[in-house]
Homo-oligomer: A and B are copies of this chain.
């Protein structure tokens, strides 16, 4: 049985975060005589799963669903893919949006050749959406 600090070291998830995962029902633990959390190898595995899925940007809600699916070997694999594919679409949409922002920020930056705020194109552009090149 592992302590919460050991799990933290092994997975890179901070101790308060592990407690938080327990609070919201993602992770469970036993307690020893002194009321301290003790985890099995399965607990460590489960936390690693959560950590990795978080690193990939999945929401805790999505992870909750994945964990439920993972617990049932006969569940259709397609259900898992539905979750990850939806996430992928979301990631792609965010990339697209950020790229538009990047372009617009660069354009605004490049248009300013002033010395002080009085003539700064950045300030003007922010005040007036009409000066924008593309939609955002």
**Does A15 have its Cβ within 8 Å of any Cβ on chain B?**
no
Knowing A70-B117, A98-B91, A101-B91, the reply to whether A112 touches B56 (Cβ < 8 A) is: no
The segment from A1-9, A20-28, A31-39, A46-54 found at the interface with B is A46-54
Knowing A115-B76, A116-B74, the reply to whether A126 touches B95 (Cβ < 8 A) is: no
Interface size on A, residues (CB 8 A): 52
CB-contacts of A55-74 with B (<8 A): 55-57, 66, 69-70, 72-74
Knowing A70-B123, A73-B116, A77-B117, the reply to whether A91 touches B84 (Cβ < 8 A) is: no
Q: Please indicate the chain B residues that have their CB under 8 angstroms from the CB of A109 in the complex.
A: 81, 84-85, 88
